[in-house]
Structure formats: C-alpha cells, structure tokens
C-alpha cells in the first residue's frame, strides 16, 4: 500500500505501507480543535447544533491533552489484495509536535518527530527517510497544528460509535484533490477521557483502524524518546 502526501514546498511524495496514515494521525495529536460555526450533519443527513456533545467532548479532550503513552493494535484492510494486515506497537506523544510510533510486528518500524524533523526508519531495509516537520503544513491534518478553523477544511459527521455508549466524529476533507485520505474517524472511550479508536480511509480505498490500550495521559515522558540518531550503515533519504 502506497499513499501520496503533498507538502507545502516540495510537491508530493509517495510513502510506504503505514507512514502516510501515521503522519495524518501524528500531526493531529498536538493541535487544538478550533471552535467554529459549521453545522454538524448526522448520518441521516439531519443538521444538528454545532454544540453537539461528541464534538464538544473531542474538543475538550484535545485542549487538555499534554502527553500520551499507549500500546496499540492496527488493522489495515488493503483495497487491492483484500488481505488484512495486523500490526502491534507503542505510541507516545508530547506537545509541542513530538511523537513516536514504535512497531514491533510484523516487522520493526519507527516513525518519530522531534518537533523539527519527522524520521521514518525501516530497520529491515536499513534506510531512514527524513522530512522537515514544517513541510507538513499543507497535509490534511495541518489544521490541528496550525490553528485553522475546521470549517475551512472539513465537514463534520457524528455517528454511532463502535462500542456501546460511544459516538464517533467523522471528518471529510473539503479539498479532495490534495487530500491523502477520504475520512478520519475519532472515537473516545465511553467511560474515561481517553482515545479509544482512530480510523483512517485513504484515497486508495485502504482502511486502517487503530485501537489503544494501557493508556497513560499527561504523564512525563523521557525526552530521549523523541530523539533519533541515525544508526551506522543506514542510508538517509530526504523526503
């Protein structure tokens, strides 16, 4: 599965199996959902008030979020092969703009942002791709770090969630030609202020679902977790 991500000053780049989806999700982590006057459309297309409880809760969750540490399971349904891929790993993030995805299986991968550079390390290929974080400003999730109102880039839909007592906020890009995804779905835990599930449908029809467990919110994370040193013998590619 390859996905195209467009950058603000360097055209578009095709990334490997997971990195483009994770860039979308990772860059979404540290931002602030802006209050906006756009109506929210429900699944049956009825217009509901902008102060929908699911959206207000999601906004409050992101306002309060300082750091996050959790294990995750990712299931990706490939539109071409029809064969699902299941991966496991650990996700850590801390404002401003620092995050780390550690994949343990089916093979080790690392996606890390030190707030200046995003590193995508493929251990088995002995190569790392580095991209300046500032060049992601035109990515579909940039509104969350740049402070642009949601109504400038997205339509909202509030759906029944995958777990009893949950609701899912679904985002659709208004700029479909440049977007690397068709939709993002965000579901919070029904009983705790924690991220329960993230789902992404890319523009090639591949669907990825991330579920989180063992979550620790707003606790200190060692700063060396967000530092990457290129291992000896590893090729460095500029993205």
pLDDT value at 35 more than 70: no
Distance CA 225, CA 148 (A): 29
pLDDT for 150:
54
Q: Three-state SS across 182-222?
A: EEEEEEECCCCCCEEEEEEEECCCCEEEEEEEEEEECCCCC
Half-sphere exposure of 226 (CA within 13 A, CB side): 22
Domain-by-domain residue ranges, the chain? 3-228
Q: Lowest-confidence range among 4-13, 177-186, 189-198?
A: 4-13
Distance CA 76, CA 89 (A): 14
- Percentage of residues in the chain with pLDDT exceeding 90? 24
Distance CA 107, CA 204 (A): 23
Mean pLDDT, rounded, of the chain: 74
Is the domain spanning 3-228 CATH 3.40.430.10? The answer is no
Instruction: Categorise residue 34: left if φ over 0, alpha if ψ from -120 to 50, beta otherwise.
Output: beta
- As a dihedral over the C-alpha atoms of residue 76, residue 163, residue 36, residue 204, rounded to 10 degrees, the angle is 20
The model's pTM is: 0.74
């Amino acid at each position: 599965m390859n996905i195209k991500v467009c950058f603000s000053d360097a055209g578009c780049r095709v990334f490997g199996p997971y990195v483009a989806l994770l860039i979308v999700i990772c860059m979404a982590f540290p931002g602030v959902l802006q209050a906006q006057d756009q109506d929210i459309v429900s699944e049956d297309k009825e217009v509901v008030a902008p102060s929908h409880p699911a959206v207000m809760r999601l906004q409050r969750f992101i306002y309060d979020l300082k750091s996050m540490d959790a294990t995750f399971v990712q299931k990706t349904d490939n539109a071409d092969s029809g064969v699902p891929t299941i991966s496991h790993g650990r996700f850590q993030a801390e404002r401003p703009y620092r995050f780390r995805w550690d994949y343990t299986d089916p093979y080790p991968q690392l996606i890390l942002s030190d707030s200046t550079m995003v590193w995508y390390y493929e251990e088995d290929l002995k190569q790392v791709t580095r991209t300046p974080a500032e060049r992601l400003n035109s990515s579909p999730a940039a509104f969350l770090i740049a402070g642009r109102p949601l109504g400038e880039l997205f339509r909202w839909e509030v759906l029944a969630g995958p777990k009893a007592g949950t609701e899912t906020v679904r985002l659709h890009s208004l700029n479909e030609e440049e977007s690397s995804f068709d939709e993002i779905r965000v579901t919070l835990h029904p009983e705790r202020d924690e991220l329960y599930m993230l789902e992404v449908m890319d523009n090639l029809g591949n669907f990825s679902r991330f579920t989180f467990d063992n979550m620790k919110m707003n606790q200190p994370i060692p700063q060396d977790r967000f530092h990457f040193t290129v291992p000896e013998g590893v090729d460095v590619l500029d993205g």
